Every structure is written in C-alpha cells, then in structure tokens.
C-alpha cells in the first residue's frame, strides 16, 4: 500500500514534469525552431518600438538569452524553491511555489491562481453535487423501468443535455434567469462572505454545467444499473426476501457507483483546471477565464501555471479515484 | 384424483399425500410464458408435481427445458427484474397449504428466504462482491428476524460452523472472492439455511465445482436435509448427481414433464425415449465399454415454436412406431406406467418395454 | 521400486521402451515448466510465481488420444496453451515430430500452426460474432496463405459437412447457432489445415448432455477418418475415460499418474487419482452405497504460489508419511503402461514401507496427539487404523501442515465426512501388504 502510494507519487511528479516540459517547449522552443530570434521573442513583452537596450534588459531579466533547458531548470527550481529575479538595480524575490511573473501585467502568477481557485472550485463542486444527484437518480429510475415514459423523458433530456453546447445553454440560462427574470445575482460573492448570495449567483452556472454532465451520468448509471440488476447476486438478494427497494439501493446501486466514482473523479479533476466556457459565459473570474486571457495575450508564465495546476488536479483526482476504488471494491488490490 | 383431473396435464396424478388435500409442495399445471419480440416463450407449459418434506426431488433437463424457470417461479423470482414485467403465469403452487401464484407479491417475498430458500450454480457470481460473507448472511437473517446485528452475527457464525467452514468467527469477515469455490458454496448454503427454510431449491449446486468438492457439497446437502427435514428440489443436468442424491426424478423437455418416478424407476425402467437418450448420451465412468455414445439427434426445441404433438417427436427415433401419425398431432399426457411412475409418451407399454430391454438397456 | 528407476528423474525413457504398441512419438514434452511471475513493491520485483506447470514429462504418440484430467488450478489448461505455444514455456523442451519447438519465434512457429490446432471450451467466446461462418472457418487458409484445391469456399463447405453442419450455413453468423453447432464450427476451423495434433481444452464441458455426446462421437469419427492425434483436456472424468487411450492426472502443476486408460480406471495407483475417481457420482441408484467407497478429500487444493514440499498431495493424502513431506516422488513406471509419482501407491507395493506416518509430523501442533503418536511409532498400519478415532487430532495436524492460505475443510465436518473413507471389501483389489487408507464405513 505504502509502496503503491510512493510509486504513484513518483509517477505523478514525472508526469507533471513532462507536462511542464511540453508546455514550456511549445512556447519557447517552437518559435525558435520556426526561426524566431530571441530578440523577437523578447520584443513581444514590451511595448511598441522598443530600444535595443530595452530588449537586452528583458532578455537578461527573463533569462531569454540562456539555453532553453537552463530556462526550464530555473522555472522548475522556482516552483520548488522560489526564485529571485535580478532586475538590475533591484532584485525581486518570489516565494515557492513561484510560477514567475506575467510578461504582460508583471503580476506574480501564483497569487493570481490562488485567488481565482475558490471561484473555480465553487463552480465545479456545486455543479458536481447537482449532476451527481440528478444524473444518478434519473439513471436508476430509467433503469428500473426501461421503456417507460419516465425513462424516455430522462433519456430525451439527457440526449439534449449532451448535444446542446455550453455556450447555448449557458447563455440561455443567463438570459432567462439573470436578465429576464433577475432571480439570481450577477456578481460572484465568496462563500465565506455570504453563503446564500454565493449560491444564488452561481446557481445558473451550476445548472448549465450540471445539465451537460448529468446527461452523461444518467446514461452511465442507466446502463450500469441495467447490467447489474441482471447479475446473479441481485437474484440472490431477492431470494433472501429483501424488499425491492433494498435490493436496488444496497445491492444494485452499490455496484454501479464504483465505476461512476471513477468517471466522477476525473471529470471533477478536469473541471478544477478551469471550466473555460462556463466561466467565460458567466463572467466568473476563475482559472479557466485566466487561461483564456493568458492564451490570448501569449503570456507564457500564467499559461504554464494554469496548465500545471490543471494537470495536477487531473493526476491527483486519478490517484484519489484509484484509492477510492480500492476502498469501494474489496477485490481490488493496490499493487 | 378426480379433483385434479380438471387440470389438463395432471390427469391421473397421484393423490396428494397430506390430509388437507395438498402435498407440502404441490405444483399444479404451472405455466410460465415470457412474451418477447420473437414471440411467446413457453418456458414452462403445464407442469405438475408434488414433494413432501424430507424428500429430495431432482428436476433433470437440458438448457431451455424450463427447469430453472420452474424453480424461479416457485420462489416468485421470475416476476422481478426487467424480464419479469410481462411474464404470464398460470396454475397453482401450493407451499405448506399456501397458494403462491395468486398470492400478494409482498406475501411471497416474506416467505422467500424464510420458508423457501435457494442456492445457485455459481456461488462467486451469486454473492455480492462488495459485502463480506458475514454481512450477507446477517442480512438474510435480519430480513425475517427482528434481532440486533450482533445476535444475527452469532447466528451467522453458527451456520458457517455448521456447514463446515473452519474458524467461522474469523472467516465470517472475509469477502466472497477470498473463499475457494467449495467454501463459497458452503457459505451460500449457510446463507440459504439461516432461517431454517422448509423448502430448499438448489439450482445446479455443484456444476461449477470440482468433482472432489462436489462430493463434499452433495454430502453436506444430504446431511443438512436429514437434520432439518426439509424438502429439497435439486435442479441438475448431471444424472450422476441425480442418482446420488434424489428420491424422485422429474425429467423435463420443452417446458413439460416427460417422465417422473422414483430414482430407481427412472434409472432402471425408464419409460420415455428422451430419458433413454439422456442415459445413452452419458459417458459412464463405471463401465468398461468404449462403444460409441448414443446421443439424442438434433437440437433442443425452440420454446417459441414448440413442435406439434409430442415436443420430442423430431428427435425421437421411435416417433413412427405409434400409428396414425399420433406423435405429430396429439400432445401426450402423463400416464401412470407403474406405482408412482409416470410418462408422457405415445408408445404402447409393450413397445416401451421391448425397446428398453432389447435395444437401449444392453447398450448402456 | 528398483534403484535404477528411482534415481531416474525423467521416467519417460522406460515408458517408451515398454510401450505395448510402438507408435511413433508425435509430441514429446520434457521438464515443461510454466511460471507466472507475481510482481510487487516499488520496483515491481518478482516476489513469487504461480507455478502453473512445474516440471512435467509426457509424450503423445501418433493417432492416440491423451486425456489430461485434474481439478481447476492444476495447470492442465496452461499446459495445453504451452504445448501449442500459445504461451511461452518458462523451462523444459517441447518436441514436435522430433523438432525442438520450445523456443521457436512467431515466424518459426508459423508452419507448425498448420500442424497443431486448438479447440477451446467456450463455443461462444471463441467465434467472432461479426464474421460469417464461412470467413471463420476459412481464416486458417488466409492466415497461412493456402489455397485449397477447388477453392476456399468449396473446401469450407466440405469441412462444414464433415463436422455435421449444412454447407448452406456458409453465410450465417455465429449467433444463429446453438452451443453444439458452434463447437462444431470451432472444430471445422481447427481441422481446416489438416492438422496432425489437435489440443482440445474442455471441448464439451459447455454443452448439454445430449449435444456433448454428439460432439464426442464427432471427435471420435474424425480421429478414425483423418488419423488425428488428440490431447483432450477436461475435468469430467467420465468424458476423459470415454475418449482417451492414455490419461495423465495432474495435481498442482505436476503429473501424478500417467497410465493406459483401463489400467488407470480399474486400479489407480496414485491416491489422488483414486480419490478423484471415487468422487465422481455414478448414474446408478443401485450404487447409492457407492458413497461409502468415496474418499472425501479434505479441504481445497493448496495455492500454486507455494505448493507443499515433497509430494504436493501430502497435505491432503491419508497415506502421507515423513518422506512424502520431504522428498518429491519421481514419476516412474511401476507397471507396464502405468507411471505414477507416489511413495505409497495404491494397488502396488509400498515404495517406502518403513517410513513414519505423518500423524505427528507437524511440530507446531501443540494439540496432544499422544495416543496416535504412540501407536503410530511401532507400525504404520496400526497407526492408520487408529486414525479415525483421533479425528480431531489428525485433522488439525493436516490443516496445520497445509501452510497455505486456503482454508482446509475438516473441523466443522460431521465426524466421518472429513475422513478418508474407503470400503475395504468392495475395493479389495489391493495387494495384502498395501497399506489401505483409513477405513471407516459410513
């Protein structure tokens, strides 16, 4: 068990390094391979018509004149141990984990990420609860009465939920519930300040996001339930004289939930890296929105930060899912 | 007998043994049909039999003969689940004086596990993989007994000990996958017997087990039956198991009973060509002969388009022996061919005796 | 018996020499080993291995049928997959027609794939549901690049007819067929390239009795017609008896007995064979009494991860003595046509008559077994007869011995059941000095 955790952690670290290297490479190596000079690269980060001295300063400050692998090394070192930037007359120290400064706004990346993370977590967690409850419930009901009106209704909604794009359902929800009938707030309020206000504002976003996911979960639950309810052990449970409700919940759903946990963990991990479209549509200043902005600006350090954070969440969620899976299914041994 | 004759298939059924007019388990003209897209599947189509406490009845047949559906129907399990929604069922099932076919489903549920219990072929898939053995036995006990978990656990340990599981107080917390096949089947039996049911139905209880383990399990079932005096229905395709454990045998073909009698009758004086076919198909470990087996030709019948007349006629080598094409047009009813021995065949008693003694028996 | 034989670990040589019919050897297996590694820990080091097949020797002669029986987990299926080279052996050699095929690579095996074919148990799983029968049966031609005389289609239709299917089935799909018919399709596919050796792993166990008989007869006819050689792996001892000329009995990765069919069934020498045979329910109600002859083995087969020392059967054997625990008995030919690996064979002279019975062998057992121990010391037979009286003592001893994680049956069993039982008069085929197992009649 312990050796399993150690092995998984090492694997996770390696994976994150690879992700970092690839992202780093895309932004630093590819332009050079495409023939761009260091000067041109540096020029992107200062205003128009820079003097050669400015460019040289940027090059030195950002370390652009060094070989790429050295730059990468500095970057990784910064995350682990913090970094000190020599800006000529002054030096700036940036504590670990240091993802550097935005080239454009010259704001430190990590505080940006941490300040935006609660928004993203709020969005993801709320939506997750909604879609898990509604999706699984709909799936179970559908599976117990396949072909019934309820089944058709749920599966119809599920189909539309999957096929309608987020920017459509999101805009629609925004239009109807925030502007047409303004029952929901417009600006995000942190949970710690006012929980009801927090939920009130986020609710349309949750619903839009949950509609998309609960559709997938309803289908997943339905097919899992249909399969499980024809298992031999369900017949055994019935042969004991258990009430059908207990058979469904204790014996049927218990088995179906295990694979759902797996998918759920990964979905949640992905969302924590930023629900790009949802955050944009609902003007939530989360990780996803940050990512979009940084990409538009070709602002490397934030992009690297967001990518690594997202990758971290996915890797971590996967790890957690595996542990959960082993806890849920006694047949699974972690080794 | 007259009373029973109104149910078609039960013509000439032996008079019920118990004073109140029904045997302990009395199945009368049971029909279980499943509508499907391809047509109506007549899994069981007019089956009658009786079983007293302390006796073992073996239902023999190949896949699709209706033997498993019969057992599920007795337990009321065929109606549950997706496939059971549209099931059509008629006839009567009397268990200890209670009629189950027309009974309220919840009433049948309360009997399930308490008065009638079932063990299944593959104990690995028949037990929930996520719960411990003990948990599952405790659950079975507490459905029908209002006792604490602790008390139920004591009972579970006791049952595990009774079915021969070593160190039951430790093994009770193991998961099914941590048991060997034989141990799992023992645990399954413990679970089925935890409420002292009077009827135990075992559906191919040893088919998934190795032969040495099979011997242990058959022994266990036999001992437990003696101890509890319950009625046992064993469903199997293995005639060796039948000879070993049964008092009575019921041979099913195409959803109906084609022959019924004591185990001696059916093995010594079988009266139906299908029974002959089963006996001839079986390689024998106790015979030196290495002659060719005498298989039943052809395939088992479709339960949607059951052959006209005698369902066995397309595969029967003697279908043309009776006159007037009767095997193709008239469905044979069960007729008494000896004390407690019944057969549904158009062959005359003389023909049957002649064919059995001259043609079949010497080859076995 | 004789010293020379005992020192010869591979007893196939004398077996050959004394074979009654000098048929050409088609397949010769020596010291075959197949271990599946278990890896654990940070560096995935191999910490143990499942010893599925652990050193077996046998040969298959042209035109014969070798039956292989054993309980689940004895390694018989693995053996089948290894000798057909579907899996690579860990050790030993496999010779086919005198040629060493043990280490042949895929390309090297290619021509041999024509000669060695396999039939599988599951007629549902082994046929691709998306392919027509025609394309399934003709696949071997395509794979081997063979163009049969008269064209593929005609040849496939001939094969379908050969196995008792209609040639019109050519364009149908597997789901349109019953289990028995699917198994026939599998057989047709195996026969397409006119193989010399057919290895069938549980070919009839998924089929109904009447269909099973059809398929057995079919295999029989095809052998006569095409001169096929079969290795038939099955758990059903009745089926194996019916189809085989010689039979190998496997236990925990070893062959414990290898003998001509009739000899094996009439007078098995290995206690395990005897127990196995006695456990088969006989379809004859008159012999319900046969239960009394039954030897009920205790517990389950030990784990192949750590098989017992010495003779692997000693943990469950009622005849086990000290030597069984320490020394592995070699597979030697004790009688013409009957090889057995046992120190104390049934129906034959004891190979280790002076050895101490394993009643008191377990040192860690603190439970007093004094009575038996005292009696055990002077004479083996006396001790064995005393055994039933000391049910609990003996059982706990044996259980403690097992040393595997598998639970052993026993303590909870009703008194007589866990005992090795044997009806002495009925089975008195044994020589008088043969130490019979404990006899307690039910």
DSSP assigned state of B313: G
Number of domains composing chain C: 2
Helix (H) or strand (E) holding B212: helix B211-228
Q: Are residues C136 and C84 in the same domain?
A: yes
State the nearest Cα–Cα gap between C15 and chain A, in angstroms. Answer: 46
Distances (CA, A) of A16 to A8, A12, A22, A294, C102: 12, 6, 10, 20, 44
Mean pLDDT confidence for C71-82: 91
Q: Are residues C155 and C89 in the same domain?
A: yes
Secondary structure of residue A86 in the 3-state scheme: strand
Residue C289's pLDDT band (cuts 50, 70, 90):
low
Residues of chain B positioned with their CB less than 8 A from the CB of A229: 81-82
User: Does the beta carbon of B115 lie under 8 angstroms from any beta carbon of chain A?
Assistant: no
User: Which chains contact A through at least 3 pairs of Cβ atoms less than 8 Å apart?
Assistant: B, C
Tell me if residue B42 falls in helix, strand or coil.
Answer: strand
Within this chain, do residues C205 and C304 fall inside the same structural domain, yes or no? no
Residue listed under structure tokens 């690594």:
A308
CA atoms of A273 and C290, how far apart (whole Å):
71
User: Does one domain contain both C54 and C201?
Assistant: yes
Mean pLDDT of chain C: 76
Q: Verify that C47 and C186 share a domain, yes or no.
A: yes
pLDDT given at position B10: 39
Q: Which of C235, C231, C203, C201 shows the shortest CA–CA distance to C217?
A: C203
**Any C CB within 8 A of A5 CB:** no
C-alpha R_g of chain B: 21
Chain C nearest C-alpha distance from A1 (Å): 9
Q: For residue C259, what are the β-bridge partners?
A: C247, C338
- Residue C177 located in a structural domain: yes
Question: Under a CB-based contact definition with an 8 Å cutoff, are residues C229 and C63 in contact?
Answer: yes
Count the neighbouring beta carbons within 10 Å of the beta carbon of residue A188: 20
- Residue C420, in any domain of the structure: yes
Decide if A233 and B125 are in contact by the 8 Å CB cutoff.
yes
Give yes or no: residues C203 and C62 share one domain.
yes
The CATH superfamily of A111-334 is: MetI-like (1.10.3720.10)
Element (H, E) at B189: helix B181-193
Residue B180 DSSP one-character state? -
Q: For residues B228, B234, B238 and B244, what is the CA-based torsion angle, rounded to 10 degrees?
A: 30
| Measured torsion, CA atoms of residues C173, C175, C177, C181, in degrees rounded to the nearest 10 | 90
Give phi and psi for C195, each to the nearest 5. Answer: -70, 165
Question: Over 50: is that where the pLDDT of C426 sits?
Answer: no
The CATH number covering residue C182 comes to 3.40.50.300
Are C339 and C412 part of one and the same domain? Answer: no
List B residues 196-255 in contact with C (Cβ-Cβ < 8 A).
210-216, 218-219, 223, 237-244
Question: What is the spatial distance between Cα B345 and Cα B332, in angstroms, rounded to a whole number?
Answer: 6
Q: What is the DSSP letter of A4?
A: H
Calpha distance C399→C364 (Å, rounded): 11
Answer whether B304's CB lies under 8 Å from B42's CB: yes
A254 pLDDT higher than 50: yes
Interatomic CA distance for residues B57 and A176, integer angstroms: 69
> Is C69 among the domain residues?
yes
Residue C414 near residue C395, CB atoms below 8 Å: no
Nearest CB to C213 within list B171, B216, B281? B281
For helices B273-281 and C209-226, the axis angle rounded to 10 degrees is 50
Average pLDDT for C303-331: 90
- Chain A partners within 8 Å of C42 (Cβ): 3, 6-7
- Percent of chain A scoring above 70 in pLDDT: 95
Residue A281 has pLDDT above 90, yes or no: no
Residues of A with Cβ-Cβ distance to C41 under 8 angstroms: 3
Nearest to C208 among B211, B237, B242 (CB): B237
pLDDT tens column, B80-119: 876 667 889 999 999 999 999 999 999 999 999 999 999 9
Confidence class of residue C110 from pLDDT cuts 50, 70 and 90? confident
Segment A308-329 shows an average pLDDT of 86
How far, in Å, are A275, C88, C182, C315 from residue C35 at the CA level?
Answer: 50, 10, 32, 22
- Which of B72, B78, B82 has the highest number of chain A CBs within 10 A, making it the mutation to test binding with A? B82
Say whether residue B330 is in contact with chain A using an 8 A CB cutoff: no
Q: Answer whether A335 sits within 8 Å of C40, measured CB to CB.
A: yes
Reported confidence tier of residue C359, pLDDT bands at 50, 70, 90: low
Identify the pLDDT of residue C423.
36
Q: Tell whether C20 is within 8 A of chain A (Cβ).
A: no
Contact B113, B197 (CB under 8 A): yes
Query: Distance between CA atoms of C345 and B353, rounded to whole angstroms?
Result: 46
My answer on whether C112 and C216 are in the same domain is yes
Test the B interface: residue of C284, C392, C411 with most B CBs within 10 Å: C284
Note whether C172 and C102 are same-domain residues. yes
Do the domain assignments include residue C226?
yes
Domain positions in chain A: 2-109, 111-334
Domain that holds residue C304: 292-384
Q: Are residues C35 and C182 in the same domain?
A: yes
pLDDT for the residue numbered A221: 92
The mean per-residue pLDDT over the stretch C80-97 comes to: 93
Cross-chain Cβ contact B299/C417 below 8 Å: no
B287 burial (CB, 10 Å; 0-12 / 13-18 / 19+) is middle
Please give, one letter per residue, the 3-state secondary structure of chain C. CCHHHHHCCECHHHHHHHCCCCCCEEEEEEEEEEEEEEEECCCCEEEEEEEEEEEEEEEEECCCEEEEECCCCCCHHHHHHHHCCCCCCCEEEEEECCEECCCCCHHHHHHHHHHEEEECCCCCCCCCCCCCHHHHHHHHHHHHCCCCCCCHHHHHHHHHHHCCCCHHHHHCCHHHCCHHHHHHHHHHHHHCCCCCEEEEECCCCCCCHHHHHHHHHHHHHHHHHHCCEEEEECCCHHHHHHHCCEEEEEECCEEEEEEEHHHHHHCCCCHHHHHHHHHCCCCCHHHHHHHHHCCCCCCCCCCCCCCCCCCCCCCCCCCCEHHHHHCCCCEEEEECCEEECCCCCCCCCCCCCCCCECCCCCCCCCCCCHHHHHHHCCCHHHHHHHHHHHHHHHHHHHHHHHCCCCCCCCCCCCCCCCCCCCCCCCCCCCCCCCCCCCCCCC
Q: Which of B62, B210, B268 sits opposite C71 (nearest CB)?
A: B210
- pLDDT range class, residue C8, cuts 50, 70, 90: very low
B62 touching C, CB under 8 A?
yes
Nearest by CB to residue C282, choosing from B180, B240, B279, is B240
The 3-state DSSP class for residue B204 equals coil
Q: Output the pLDDT for position C12.
A: 40
Residue C91 clears pLDDT 50, i.e. is over it? yes
Domain presence at residue C342? yes
Residue C251 lies in a domain: no
In a domain, C260, yes or no: no
pLDDT tens profile C163-204: 888 888 888 898 888 888 888 898 999 988 889 999 999 998
Q: Where are the alpha helices (DSSP H) in chain A?
A: 2-24, 30-33, 38-43, 52-62, 68-81, 109-144, 149-163, 166-173, 195-228, 232-239, 244-246, 254-272, 276-281, 287-297, 300-328
- pLDDT above 80 (res C366): no
On whether residue C246 sits in a domain, the answer given is no
Selected for mutation to probe chain B from A233, A248, A249, A250 (highest B CB count within 10 Å) is: A233
The whole-angstrom separation of Cα A74 and Cα C288 is 84
The string of pLDDT tens digits covering residues A28-37 is 777 777 777 7
- A23 vs C331 pLDDT, higher one: C331
The pLDDT score that the predictor gives to residue C304 is: 87
B/e letters for B347-361, b = 16+ CB within 10 Å, e = fewer, are beeeebeebbeeebe
- Low-confidence winner among A17-21, A281-285, B233-237, C402-406 (lowest mean pLDDT): C402-406
Cα(A84)–Cα(C376) distance, rounded to whole angstroms?
84
> Using CB atoms, which chains have 3+ pairs under 8 A with B?
A, C
The radius of gyration computed from the CA coordinates of chain A, to the nearest angstrom, equals 25
Quick one: pLDDT at residue C364?
Answer: 32
Question: What part of A 40-59 touches C (C-beta under 8 Å)?
Answer: none
Q: Residue C376: which pLDDT band, with cuts at 50, 70 and 90?
A: very low
Q: What is the mean pLDDT of each run of 10 residues along chain B (364 residues)?
A: 37 45 88 90 92 94 89 89 79 93 92 94 91 95 95 95 91 92 92 94 90 88 90 93 93 94 94 93 78 84 89 93 89 92 94 91 82
The minimal CB distance from B212 to the residues C208, C286, C297 is found for C297
Closest CA to A210 of A181, A184, A258, A173: A173
pLDDT at C20 over 50: no
Condensed to tens digits (0 to 9), the pLDDT of residues C204-248 reads 888 888 888 888 999 999 999 999 999 999 999 999 999 999 999
C-alpha–C-alpha distance, residues A223 and A200, integer Å: 34
pTM of the model: 0.79
- Whether residue C225 sits in one domain with residue C341: no
**What pLDDT was estimated at residue C22?**
65
């Amino acid at each position: 068990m312990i050796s399993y955790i150690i092995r998984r952690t090492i694997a996770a670290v390696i994976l994150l390094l690879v992700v970092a290297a690839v992202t780093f490479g895309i932004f630093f190596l590819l332009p050079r391979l495409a023939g761009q000079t260091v000067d041109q690269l540096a020029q992107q980060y200062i205003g128009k018509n820079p003097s050669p001295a400015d460019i040289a300063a940027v090059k030195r400050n950002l370390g652009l004149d060094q070989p790429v692998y050295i730059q990468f090394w500095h970057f990784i070192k910064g995350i682990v141990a913090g970094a000190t930037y020599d800006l000529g007359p002054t030096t700036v120290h940036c504590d670990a984990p240091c993802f550097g400064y935005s080239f454009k706004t010259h704001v430190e990346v990590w505080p940006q990420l941490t300040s935006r993370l609660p928004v993203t977590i709020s969005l993801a967690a709320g939506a997750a609860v909604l879609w898990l409850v509604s999706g699984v419930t709909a799936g179970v009901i559908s599976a117990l009465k396949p072909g019934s009106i309820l089944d058709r209704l749920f599966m119809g909604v599920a189909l539309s939920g999957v096929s309608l794009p987020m920017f459509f359902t999101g805009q629609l929800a925004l239009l109807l519930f925030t502007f047409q009938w303004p029952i929901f707030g417009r600006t995000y309020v942190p949970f710690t300040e006012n929980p009801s206000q927090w939920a009130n504002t986020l609710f349309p976003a949750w619903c839009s996001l949950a509609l998309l996911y609960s559709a997938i979960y309803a289908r997943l639950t339905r097919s899992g339930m249909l399969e499980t309810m024809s298992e031999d052990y369900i017949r055994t449970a019935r042969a004991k004289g258990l009430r059908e409700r207990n058979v469904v919940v204790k014996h049927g759903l218990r088995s179906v939930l295990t694979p759902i946990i797996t998918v759920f963990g990964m979905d949640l991990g992905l969302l924590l890296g930023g629900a790009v479209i949802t955050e944009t549509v609902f003007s939530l200043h989360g990780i996803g929105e940050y990512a979009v902005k940084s990409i538009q600006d070709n602002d490397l350090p934030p992009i690297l930060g967001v990518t690594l954070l997202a990758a971290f969440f996915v890797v971590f969620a996967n790890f957690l899912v595996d542990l959960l899976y082993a806890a849920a299914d006694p047949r699974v041994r972690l080794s | 007998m007259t009373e029973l004759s109104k149910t078609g298939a039960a013509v000439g059924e032996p008079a019920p043994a118990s004073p109140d007019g029904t045997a302990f388990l009395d199945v009368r003209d049971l029909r279980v049909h499943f509508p499907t897209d391809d047509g109506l599947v007549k899994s069981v189509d007019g089956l009658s039999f009786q079983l007293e406490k302390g006796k073992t009845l073996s239902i023999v047949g190949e896949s699709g003969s209706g033997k498993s559906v019969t057992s599920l129907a007795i337990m009321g399990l065929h109606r549950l689940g997706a496939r059971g929604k549209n099931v059509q069922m008629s006839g009567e099932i009397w268990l200890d004086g209670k009629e189950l076919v027309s009974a309220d489903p919840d009433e049948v549920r309360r009997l399930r596990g308490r008065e009638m219990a079932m063990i299944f072929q593959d104990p690995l898939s028949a037990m929930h993989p996520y719960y411990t053995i003990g948990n599952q036995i405790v659950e079975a006990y507490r459905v029908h007994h209002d006792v604490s978990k602790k008390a139920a656990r004591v009972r579970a340990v006791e049952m595990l000990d009774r079915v021969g599981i070593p160190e039951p107080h430790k093994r009770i917390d193991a998961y099914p996958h941590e048991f060997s096949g034989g141990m799992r089947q023992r645990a399954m039996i413990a679970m089925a017997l935890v409420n002292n049911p009077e009827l135990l139905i075992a559906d191919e209880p040893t088919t998934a087990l190795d032969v040495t383990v099979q011997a242990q399990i058959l022994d266990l079932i036999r001992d437990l039956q003696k101890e509890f005096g319950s009625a046992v229905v064993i469903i199997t395709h293995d005639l060796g198991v039948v000879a070993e454990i049964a008092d009575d045998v019921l041979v099913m073909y195409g959803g109906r009973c084609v022959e019924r009698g004591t185990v001696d009758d059916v093995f010594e004086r079988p009266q139906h060509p299908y029974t002959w076919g089963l006996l001839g198909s079986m390689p024998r470990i106790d015979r030196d002969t290495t002659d060719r087996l005498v298989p039943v030709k052809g395939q088992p019948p479709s339960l949607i388009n059951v052959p006209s007349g005698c369902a066995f006629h397309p595969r029967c080598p003697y279908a043309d022996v009776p006159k007037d094409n009767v095997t193709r047009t008239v469905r044979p009813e069960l007729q008494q061919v000896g004390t407690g021995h019944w057969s549904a065949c158009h062959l005359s008693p003389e023909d049957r005796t002649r064919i059995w003694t001259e043609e079949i028996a010497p080859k076995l | 018996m004789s010293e020379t034989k005992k020192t010869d670990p591979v007893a196939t040589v004398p077996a050959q020499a004394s074979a009654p019919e000098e048929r050409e050897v088609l397949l010769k297996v020596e010291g075959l080993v197949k271990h599946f590694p278990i890896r654990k820990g940070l560096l995935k080091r191999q910490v143990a291995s499942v010893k599925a097949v652990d050193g077996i020797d046998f040969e298959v002669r042209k035109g014969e049928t070798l039956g292989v029986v054993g309980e689940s987990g004895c390694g018989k299926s693995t053996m089948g997959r290894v000798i057909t080279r579907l899996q690579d052996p860990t050790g030993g050699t496999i010779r086919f027609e005198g040629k060493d095929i043990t280490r042949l690579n895929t390309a090297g095996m290619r021509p041999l794939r024509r000669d060695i074919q396999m039939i599988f148990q599951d007629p549902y799983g082994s046929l691709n549901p998306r392919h027509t029968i025609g394309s399934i049966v003709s696949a071997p031609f395509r794979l081997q690049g063979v163009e049969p005389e008269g064209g593929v289609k005609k040849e496939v239709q001939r094969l379908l007819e050969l196995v008792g299917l209609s040639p019109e089935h050519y364009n149908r799909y597997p789901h349109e067929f019953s289990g028995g018919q699917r198994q026939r399709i599998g057989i047709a596919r195996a026969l397409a390239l006119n193989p010399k050796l057919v290895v069938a792993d549980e070919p009839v166990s998924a089929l109904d009795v009447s269909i099973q008989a059809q398929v057995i007869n079919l295999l029989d006819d095809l052998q006569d017609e095409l001169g096929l050689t079969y290795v038939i792996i099955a758990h059903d001892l009745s089926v194996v008896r019916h189809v085989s000329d010689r039979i190998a009995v496997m236990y925990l990765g070893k062959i414990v007995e290898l003998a001509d069919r009739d000899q094996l069934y009439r007078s098995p020498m290995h206690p395990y064979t005897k127990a196995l045979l006695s456990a088969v329910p006989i379809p004859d109600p008159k012999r319900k009494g046969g239960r009394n002859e039954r030897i009920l083995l205790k517990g389950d087969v030990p784990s192949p991860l750590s098989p017992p020392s010495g003779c692997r059967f000693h943990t469950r054997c009622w005849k086990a003595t000290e030597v069984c625990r320490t020394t592995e008995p070699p597979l030697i030919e004790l009688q013409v046509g009957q090889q057995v690996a046992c120190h104390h064979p049934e129906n034959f002279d004891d190979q280790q008559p002076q050895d101490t019975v394993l009643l008191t062998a377990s040192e860690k057992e603190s439970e007093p077994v004094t009575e038996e121990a005292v009696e055990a010391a002077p004479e083996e037979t006396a001790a064995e007869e005393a055994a039933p009286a000391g049910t609990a003592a003996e059982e706990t001893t044996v259980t403690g011995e097992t040393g595997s994680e598998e639970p052993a049956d026993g303590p909870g069993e009703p008194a007589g059941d866990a005992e090795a039982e044997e009806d002495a008069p009925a089975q008195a085929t044994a020589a008088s000095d043969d130490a019979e197992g404990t006899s307690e009649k039910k």
